[in-house]
Amino acid sequence: MFDAGMHDRAKIGFVLLATEQTIEGNMFRLCPKGVGVHFTRAAIEDSITVESLSRHGDDLGRAARTLLPDGSLDVLCYACTSGSLVIGEERVFTELRKGAPKVQLTSLITAVIQALRALKLHKIAVATPYLDEINRQEAAYLEKAGFSVTQIRGLNLEKDSDMIRVRPDYIAEFAASVDTADADAVFISCGALRALDIVDQLEQRLAKPVICSNQAMMWHCLRLAGISDNIAGYGRLFSEC
């Protein structure tokens, strides 16, 4: 009477910001057949600041508890770049474990760090939509993880509802302007940005790897789940690692 269901290869969960409008569509685009993606949301106002993200961390455990209580989830990811570096990976994982104690855990900044390491990249130019207070924390976080940030520049947007509206062609031009000659790669930071639309073309234009948040996140979650599929059209990360 029963079979393994639609998602017999892996089930991946994502804890999103309440304001998030880009990640779900991107994850479905990158999801191989037989892999399930499942979403929940943690409370936050439409304001991405150090203060609001720090408060938002308190709701991660509750949100995690709402995903697949049958215990079939393989990987759970906190899907916010700025949130994971402001809150910090250690606290993110502590909060997520309150709701999902037996699941492999990751976060978006964890995924980015693992992606950069997988491609053996060291000097990184970083383009973000964030306020300067978050950019400073991001540069420090990446430097502490062993990378050299050659330049970081943001669009000084506070509202998530504005970040999701930045045109992909503008993202490409902005990221190209942030690139530096000595950078091994460009990182476009933020799951709300529609950078997945332009990551492959920008990589070819700059002749260096381009990492964007949602590409790195799905890559890392799939690899943690034991899924090694290569996915064409989304940069070297998915084709080489």
- In angstroms, the CA 52 to CA 157 distance is 14
Q: Is 42 domain-assigned?
A: yes
Whole-angstrom CA distances from 118 to 86, 113, 160, 193, 203 are 23, 9, 29, 23, 17
Who wins on pLDDT, 212 or 5? 212
Residues 65 and 146 in one domain: no
Mean pLDDT, rounded, of the chain: 97
Span 151-197, pLDDT tens digits:
999 999 999 999 999 999 999 999 999 999 999 999 999 999 999 99
In a domain, 131, yes or no: yes
Asked if 128 and 206 sit in the same domain, the reply is yes
Task: At 73, give phi and psi (nearest 5°).
Answer: -70, 135
pLDDT tier, 229 (very low <50, low <70, confident <90, very high otherwise): very high
pTM of the model: 0.97
223 in the same domain as 208: no
**C-alpha to C-alpha distance for 12 and 63, rounded to whole angstroms:** 14
- Minimal CA–CA distance to 212: which of 150, 89, 126, 130? 126
Examine the domain organization and report whether 96 and 159 are in the same domain: no
- What is the span of the domain harbouring residue 71? 10-108+218-229
Question: Would you state the structure tokens that stand for residue 97, as one six-digit string?
Answer: 């474990």
Q: pLDDT at position 135, please?
A: 98
**Count of domains in the chain?**
2
- Both 103 and 55 in one domain: the answer is yes
Instruction: Say which CATH number the domain at 158 has.
Output: 3.40.50.1860
Residue 57 binned pLDDT confidence (cut-offs 50, 70, 90): very high
Beta strands in the chain (DSSP E): 10-17, 35-42, 75-78, 104-107, 123-128, 148-154, 185-188, 210-212
